[in-house]
Amino acid sequence: MEKKNILLGISGGIAAYKITYLIRHYKKNNYNVKVIMTENALNFISKVTVETLSENKVYVDSFEMDFNDKKDGFIPHIKLADFADLFILAPATANVLGKIANGIADDLLTSTVIALKKNIPKLIFPAMNVKMLENSFTQKNISNLIKEGYKVFQTDKGELACGVIAKGRLPEPETIYSLTKRFLTSQKLKGKKILITSGATLEKIDPVRYISNHSSGKMGVSIAEKCYEYGAEVDIVSGKYSVDSYLDSQIFVSSTEDMWEKIKKLFGKKKYDYVVMAAAVSDYYAKD
């Protein structure tokens, strides 16, 4: 695999600790990683930890240059922007989102974002309290970033640092790695629309019992995620107890009839290039 360069921005949210695991995923898979941290991010994870994991110097201050930097004419925000084949900002706080969306460049991270090449993917993973996330200014900033070509991913729902169960969580490192692989892989299926089914259907006998099978849905979900990685637009229709995919397009259904009806509706909306029927549908149903 070609050794691509990932520029990773870390802003000052509690979820910053997860990024240490994300860096390990990239390093284990042969990517170069350089990291820019905000001053506030240093309150959550140390510079030494990130430098050890990334095997590169961590950049914080726009004017922090050692002797070799000066000798080589190193301007941090320009050189770092030129280094990147892919830019990832995780976690992205409401503060940093607002700065980038409004063209403010008052530290090394935001200055580098402004200097990034137009053609490289710019991926943003917000993480914050749900009230901050749902604030109209935050939502407006996210919309503006999307309009400008940034890819802003949905937050997860779960327990937040304040103890509330709500949206605002940073996705797990494994999920972020999987979502970003699409932007580091040859896009063999770019422009293709693919429908995939997975898992077992469930046929009710009565309010307590049902007929089903032991299919986990792993095969269908794996096919779907690999297709997404190669650039396809993917829809997944899964049995009720299929394993979850990190893809937002996964739809869960119960019975074989439910699955068929959902597939027909999707066919009415899209013209698919490929259909992969990996679901283990039931052979029988109980007569009323």
Residue 287 lies in a domain: no
| Number of domain units in the chain | 2
What's the CA gap between 266 and 195, in Å, rounded?
Answer: 9
Looking at the structure, tell me whether residues 92 and 166 fall in a common domain: yes
Closest CA relative to residue 237, chosen from 211, 210, 212, 264: 264
Looking at the structure, tell me whether residues 166 and 213 fall in a common domain: no
According to the model, what pLDDT value does residue 69 have? 57
What's the CA gap between 278 and 9, in Å, rounded?
Answer: 38
Closest CA relative to residue 15, chosen from 247, 177, 171: 171
Find tokens 């309150």 and name the residue.
Answer: 43
Strand ranges inside 127-202, DSSP E: 151-152, 156-159, 165-169, 193-198
Structure tokens at 165: 């169960």
Say if residues 89 and 6 touch (Cβ distance below 8 Å): no
Percentage of residues of the chain with pLDDT beyond 70: 96
Residue numbers of the domain that contains 252 = 193-277
What does the pLDDT look like over 99-134, one tens digit per residue?
999 999 999 999 999 999 999 999 999 999 999 999
- Could you tell me how many helices (H) and strands (E) the chain has, helices first? 11, 14
What's the CA gap between 275 and 79, in Å, rounded?
Answer: 45
pLDDT band of residue 62 (cuts 50, 70, 90) is confident
What are the residues facing 158 on neighbouring strands? 166
Q: What is the CATH number of the domain that holds 62?
A: 3.40.50.1950
User: Is 162 one of the annotated active-site residues of the chain?
Assistant: yes
Looking at the structure, tell me whether residues 13 and 107 fall in a common domain: yes
Residue 283 lies in a domain: no
Looking at the structure, tell me whether residues 18 and 90 fall in a common domain: yes
pLDDT band of residue 51 (cuts 50, 70, 90) is very high
Among the listed residues 162, 164, 205, 286, the single catalytic one is: 162
Find tokens 């008052």 and name the residue.
Answer: 106
Say if residues 5 and 154 touch (Cβ distance below 8 Å): no
Looking at the structure, tell me whether residues 107 and 239 fall in a common domain: no
Spell out the residues 6+ positions from residue 288 whose beta carbon is closer than 8 angstroms to its own.
none
Q: Global pTM? A: 0.85
Query: Is the confidence at residue 65, as pLDDT, over 90?
Result: no
Q: What is the CATH number of the domain that holds 199?
A: 3.40.50.10300
Sheet of 250-253: strand order equals 250-253, 233-239, 193-198, 274-277
Q: Tell me 170's DSSP state.
A: P
Q: Tell me 82's DSSP state.
A: H
Q: Of all helices (H) and strands (E), which one includes residue 236?
A: strand 233-239
What does the pLDDT look like over 176-227, one tens digit per residue?
999 999 998 888 999 999 999 999 999 999 989 999 999 999 999 999 999 9
What one-letter code names the amino acid at 92? A
